[in-house]
Structure 1
Amino acid sequence: MKRGVNMKKITVTILMFLISALVVAGCGNSSTNSGKEAGESSGKTTKISFIHWRGEDVKVFDGLIAEFEKANPTIKVEMNVFPSEQYLANAQAKLLDGASGDVFASFPGAQFGSISKAELYAELSDADFAANYSPNLLAAGQKDGKQLAFPYQLVYNQPIYNKTIFEKLNLTPPNDWEQFLQLCETLKKNGYIPIAFPGADIGPGQFINSMMMNNNTDEDIWAKVESGQAKLTDEWFVRTLSQFKELNDKEYFQKDSLGTSKDIAGSLFAQEKAAMLATGSYMMSGMKQQNPNIELGLLAPITVAADQAVYEGIHTTTFMLGVNALSKHKDAAIKFLAFLSEKQNAEKYANGTGQLVTVKDVSYKTPELQHSATWMDKKTRFQPRYLIANAANEKAVTTSVQAVIAGKTAEEAAKNAQALIDQNIKK
């Protein structure tokens, strides 16, 4: 009997010990997850994912990431880079499980609109590092009064030109359409391809911006097209397409321009076979790497009479950095974004990649960047194509450019593109 009592005491003691252990363990788990990431509270490493499309920036980002990790030893950054077309198509899907793209880049316009509609941007309106940016360059990353992303690059989406060739032939950037055609004719007669045009990929979407900027100066024109208030069969767009056709028919683009990629067009320009490259300032650094002796400038075709021109060129604030709303490591992701937003780090990025940035007071070292920076004082328009909200409509517009180069009339190409937009409006 005595033995039975002792056994009961032992059993009760064991049960009380087990309950106490479970309570302590529960408190420990609660403490780990109370407002801090597990890696930060335990000293373990937190790994964050950084995704973007700029393969040419990898070396510079590798250096910046190494500096960030040295300053933040409990955070590791894994960078993944995808081709731009693939990134446009698949980036949003990669963000959906929260495991990829803790920090991610996005394009302004349709991609930004789609990702923000899916509520995949963490709001950054109150971020301290916002003060590092030029306020007038942040609008592309804003929606409904909230700062969802920070545009990191300032790009001029208009042709690059070879200053040496221009000086040799006593040419200057033209002030109207007739002068632009005369410029191209002079270049052609002297054995140069006037304009290297990457018609197979980015050319139509880039060159259309400066080609239309003065043909229709209404900043809301694409919203009106997408709502049915304006049409691509209207005079201004038909004229834009007819001017593309004129450049092609007069052989101011290289042969088989629709089969020419960005890289091939860039090579024609870097080899000084072409005097202009219909892309943008973002390619100046790459051209300089291919040909260190090339001297570069920026220009935009003025498609109207000089006294009718409102804009001198096109700018875009792009490579918009945001934090995934579904990220499990938001604190670490924001730390990395804050690091990239510091002036000294933005300066390293700018001079290492040859890109202008939206961070204030950055000092630019190369002649190409210094020349590009002079465009900040010119009257430029935000890239109109990025104001097309629907990606299918954007595709219809760029395809119409390819259509006139392939031989269709401007009226026919505009009509076909408008038919596609009409279908999208009805959906």
Structure 2
Amino acid sequence: MRKKKISERRLVYAMLAVLMLAGCGGKDTARESEKVTLSLMMPQSHYKEFFKEEIGRFEAEYSQYHIEVLRIPDNQWIEVTKAKAATGELTDLVRIDKGLMEDIGTGKFVEMGEKESWYKRVKEEQLENKKIGGKLYGLPVGSTSSVGLIYNKDVFEKLRLDVPGSMEEFKQVCRVLKDEGYTPLYASDKDSWTSAVAFSSSASQTMTDEVYEKFKSGEALWNNEEYRTILEEFAALRSEEYTNSDYMRATYDSAVDAVADGKAVMYMSGQFFINDVRKINPKIDLAMVPSPYCSGILTVKNGEGMFAVSAKSDHIEEAKVFLEWFSAPENMNEFNAGWNHMPVFKDQEMEMADWQQNLYDNYILQGKTEPEINERFSGIDMSEFWSDQQKMYMGQMSADEVLENWDQSYAKQLSAGR
């Protein structure tokens, strides 16, 4: 029965695609029989295997289409996207967050409204948190997800360890794990975006809307005692050998391997990491809890991600065909499940894992959350801040120097944006 429903739904989308193209006049109708290449740019870390498979499935169903993906290194993403927008060189489709879109300007993108057949299917909260000035400029694809401490439940139960609720308890857990021959916390600092997670998820726990407004207005400074302490605490874990010794050569992929084979017990990342590990070791039992810096608050990404269409694209209607296809419940299910996100559309049916349900019930529903700072400041290029944290972990900079540099860079970007 389900296969029949999916087949019927795909037939409807195919018919809609033909009608959309036919409605554009003879020129675009002729394109139906031609090969259409749609370019899509996104941060490199977002080009995951499940997304590749979805693109392959789209191309199989729409043989006249080809999706050409342009992957931008994460630490260059904001700078490159802004540059391409300024020079009119955006790709046909862009995977973009609301904050960066606001910074670039909505005029660079095609407005989406009730004329799109998928518009009324979007959950109200997912629609509202992506609108700019009351209008939508892309297909909503990102939803609520968590960032924090991921741990191996089996090892914790075997050693009778309690989930750490403070940095002191966290260090005690690390000591026990090290004595038992495990790598307590895996660090993958060669990938700068991963080395920033510990600070970003911890600092986010203390950044209320009031504090954020002070940063936004330029009243607050990053170089403060609390943020220095956070950086120093996580740097100490490396110097005290509670992480893998090769942390400066280690990558996200090696973190997946180390946790999957049971050598490493904990890792700080987004919840998508759990899916990536389980692809290698389906039997492993992983869970996530808030960063131990302030365990009563869960760091979340509210899902401001969209697939937007460039206003200067020569293939606007064709790009909308891809968005229409992607919005189908079975395609969004695969995408959201791949990221361990919650559903974006009303007609999606997705079950949450026990650990995810726990976070949802005890933190998200209770309002015990704060947005992750990279999402709060998504229009700000934080790549220099990430790189300086790498240098600090190598012993080349102090926490004070990292934050002092970032205060200067942040102030320049804030001033340029006004």
TM-score by length of 2: 0.78
* Residue 230 of structure 1, CA deviation: 0.4
1:386 aligned to which of 375, 378, 385? 375
Q: Distance in 2 between matches of 1:150 and 1:183?
A: 43
Contact 1:97 1:326 (8 Å CA) reproduced = no
Contact 1:400 1:413 (8 Å CA) reproduced = yes
* Residue 326 of structure 1, CA deviation: 1.2
1:395 aligned to which of 366, 383, 398? 383
Q: Distance in 2 between matches of 1:36 and 1:87?
A: 36
Q: Which moved further from structure 2: 119-128 or 90-99?
A: 90-99
Equivalent position of 2:407 in the other structure: 418
* Residue 185 of structure 1, CA deviation: 2.1
Q: The residue matched to 2:283 in structure 1 has which SS? A: coil
Contact 2:208 2:370 (8 Å CA) reproduced = no
1:212 aligns with 2:200: no
1:321 aligned to which of 304, 307, 331? 307
* Residue 123 of structure 1, CA deviation: 1.0
Change (3 A) 1:129 1:172: farther
Q: Which moved further from structure 2: 202-211 or 41-50?
A: 41-50
Structure 2 unaligned regions, length at least 5: 1-20
Equivalent position of 2:393 in the other structure: 405
Change (3 A) 1:106 1:42: closer
Deviation string 1:241-289 (CA, Å, 9 cap, x unpaired) is 2322333333222224233221122222222111112221122222112
Q: Distance in 2 between matches of 1:349 and 1:371?
A: 19
Q: Distance in 1 between matches of 2:370 and 2:150?
A: 17
Contact 1:346 1:362 (8 Å CA) reproduced = yes
1:58 aligns with 2:58: no
Structure 1 unaligned regions, length at least 5: 1-31
Q: Which moved further from structure 2: 195-204 or 316-325?
A: 316-325
Equivalent position of 1:363 in the other structure: 349
Q: Distance in 2 between matches of 1:231 and 1:253?
A: 30
Letter of the 1:302 counterpart:
P
* Residue 134 of structure 1, CA deviation: 2.3
Q: The residue matched to 2:292 in structure 1 has which SS? A: coil
Deviation string 1:67-89 (CA, Å, 9 cap, x unpaired) is 3x2xxx7x524242525436555
Bigger Cα Rg: 1
Q: Distance in 2 between matches of 1:418 and 1:103?
A: 33
Contact 2:54 2:331 (8 Å CA) reproduced = no
Q: The residue matched to 2:65 in structure 1 has which SS? A: strand
Give me the CA root mean square deviation.
3.3
Contact 1:200 1:260 (8 Å CA) reproduced = yes
Equivalent position of 1:104 in the other structure: 94
Equivalent position of 1:339 in the other structure: 325
1:265 aligned to which of 247, 255, 279? 255
Q: Distance in 2 between matches of 1:420 and 1:97?
A: 23
* Residue 318 of structure 1, CA deviation: 5.3
Equivalent position of 2:14 in the other structure: none
* Residue 222 of structure 1, CA deviation: 4.8
Q: The residue matched to 1:106 in structure 2 has which SS? A: strand
* Residue 100 of structure 1, CA deviation: 6.7
Equivalent position of 2:194 in the other structure: 203
1:170 aligns with 2:160: yes
Contact 2:108 2:312 (8 Å CA) reproduced = yes
Letter of the 2:91 counterpart:
G
Q: The residue matched to 2:303 in structure 1 has which SS? A: strand
1:237 aligned to which of 191, 216, 227? 227
Change (3 A) 1:329 1:192: same
Q: Distance in 2 between matches of 1:46 and 1:349?
A: 26
Change (3 A) 1:116 1:213: same
* Residue 390 of structure 1, CA deviation: 5.1
* Residue 49 of structure 1, CA deviation: 0.7
Q: Distance in 1 between matches of 2:346 and 2:23?
A: 36
* Residue 162 of structure 1, CA deviation: 1.5
* Residue 229 of structure 1, CA deviation: 0.4
Change (3 A) 1:198 1:63: same
Deviation string 1:385-405 (CA, Å, 9 cap, x unpaired) is 22225544x234324433432
Q: Distance in 1 between matches of 2:339 and 2:412?
A: 41
Alignment of 1:51-130 (within 5 A): 51=40, 52=42, 53=44, 54-56=47-49, 57-67=51-61, 69=62, 76-85=65-74, 88-91=78-81, 101-109=91-99, 111-116=100-105, 119-126=107-114, 127-130=116-119
* Residue 102 of structure 1, CA deviation: 2.5
1:285 aligns with 2:275: yes
Percent of residue pairs identical: 20
Change (3 A) 1:101 1:399: closer
Letter of the 2:383 counterpart:
K
Change (3 A) 1:105 1:226: same
TM-score by length of 1: 0.77
